[in-house]
Amino acid sequence: MPIPEVDWIWLNGEFVPWKEARVHVLTHALHYGSGVFEGIRAYATSKGTAVFRLTDHLERLVQSAKIYRMDIPYTIEELATATRELIRKNGLESCYIRPIVYRGYGEMGLFPLKCPVEVAIAVWPWGAYLGDEGIKHGIRAHISSFRRIDPNALPPAAKATGQYINSILAKLEAVETGYDEAILLDSRGFVSEGSGENIFIVEKGTLVTPPIEASILKGITRDSVMTLARANGIEVREENIVRSQLYLADEAFFTGTAAEVVPIREIDGRILGEPGPVTRKIQQLFYDVVSGNHGEYEAWLEYV
Ligand code: PPE
């Protein structure tokens, strides 16, 4: 998916023209993956553009940075203000938001503390990550031959740039073998998540999703879906899932900021079929909330 160019990028406290937001080839993060980032979406609502759970995403950014011992030279409030200004300045009604904190140019070698910590925020219009058809009719997934990173090798709680090399291997394999997305197992062999999404299955009307110990990123969409499900009388369990549960699930779907809520219609050749009633209900609740048509969850909408 090519990135649609907009006018401005926020870089270390300044708005710079899109084409001028550059880094040096000896940037530490380019060599070692020493960056942390977020993926956030802003939606058009009847009250104007609203960023979905902006503060929660920025809090996770700070947590990712803490794991890698990076001090972000801006507060959450400053980053939130910069994000809002950037969306306004680029004249966007809805968009994807990508803040990144990375170790810049300064020193080479693995001890990173002498490199400057740089911060950038970019925004651009981004459509359905796994396609419009995927959202409507579901996608085809397979179980990856690549295991998800182990918590004692690379902590999945950190959304770090270098950790995505694991997701890239899984995504490449999935697409090259004719699937849309990969499902990774954790180092124990339990279901973990997709290359860039959390996973849920439906068993007899109950939602089941892997727990933190299954090497997942604690997704904000995952949390939103669990909250919405429970508030609507759908039971949710966080528990380890084995491979056969995927094959025999009544329904399954992925959640993520970029992906949103995407039904899974096939896993390793086992057909789950068109999106079922629980998936449809969750999709409807989610899209109602993000577009401001569900008053109860106003606190999740941070207006631009
Ligand atoms: N797991 C992983 C590995 C992941 O990257 C994401 C988000 C999630 C789960 C869902 O988390 P949340 O967005 O808080 O619900 N992936 C981001 C990056 C995707 C990309 O291709 O880049 C995203 O969805 O923005």
Give SS3 for 256: strand
Query: From the DSSP assignment, how many helices (H) and strands (E) are in the chain?
Result: 8, 17
Using the 8-state DSSP alphabet, how is residue 198 labeled? E
287-to-38, 71, 135, 231 alpha-carbon distances in Å:
21, 35, 11, 16
What are 104-128's pLDDT values in tens digits?
999 999 999 999 999 999 999 999 9
d(CA 219, CA 198) in angstroms, rounded, equals 7
CA of 228 to the centre of ligand 1 (A): 19
Q: Nearest C-alpha to atom 25 of ligand 1 is from which residue?
A: 39
Of ligand 1's listed atoms, the one at least distance from the Cα of 220 is 14
Across 127-132, average pLDDT: 90
Cα(181)–Cα(65) distance, integer angstroms: 28
- For atom 3 of ligand 1, the residue with the nearest CA is 196
Q: What is the pLDDT of residue 295?
A: 86
Pocket test for ligand 1, best of 217, 227, 289, 300 (most atoms within 8 A of CB): 217
Q: What is the residue with the minimal CA distance to atom 2 of ligand 1? A: 196
CA–centroid distance, residue 127 to ligand 1 (Å)? 15
Catalytic residues: 159
Q: What's the average model confidence in pLDDT over 277-284?
A: 98
244 alpha carbon – ligand 1 mean position (Å): 25
| DSSP symbols for 39-103 | -EEEEEETTEEEEETHHHHHHHHHHHHHHTT---SS-HHHHHHHHHHHHHHTT-SSEEEEEEEEE
Task: Please state the rounded mean pLDDT for residues 220-248.
Answer: 98
Question: What is the per-residue burial (b if ≥16 Cβ within 10 Å, else e) of 153-162?
Answer: ebbbbbbbbb
Nearest CA to ligand 1 atom 5: 196
For residue range 201-213, list pLDDT tens digits in order: 999 999 999 999 9
For residue 212, the CA-to-ligand 1 centroid distance in Å is 15
CB burial of 70-97 (b: ≥16 within 10 Å; e: otherwise) equals bebebeeeebbebbbebbeebebebbbb
pTM of the model: 0.98
Could you read off the pLDDT of 237-247 as tens digits, one per residue? 999 999 999 99
Nearest CA to ligand 1 atom 21: 196
Residues with CB under 6 A from ligand 1: 39, 167, 193, 196-198, 217, 219-222, 255-259
Q: Which atom of ligand 1 is nearest to the CA of 167?
A: 3
The residue count for the chain: 304
Give the integer Cα–Cα distance in Å for 194 and 173.
13
Identify the three-state secondary structure at position 8: strand
CA 163 to each of CA 1, 44, 77, 158, 228: distance values in angstroms, whole numbers, following the listed order: 21, 32, 27, 8, 30
Ligand 1 center–CA 57 separation, angstroms: 11
Q: How far is the CA of 217 from the centre of ligand 1 (A)?
A: 8
Q: What percent of the chain has pLDDT above 70?
A: 100
Ligand 1 atom having least distance to the Cα of 221: 15
Question: If pLDDT is split at 50, 70 and 90, which confidence band does 49 have?
Answer: very high
Instruction: Identify which of 36, 191, 198, 253 to mutate to test ligand 1's pocket (most ligand atoms within 8 A of the CB).
Output: 198
Alpha-carbon distance 209 to 253, whole Å? 10
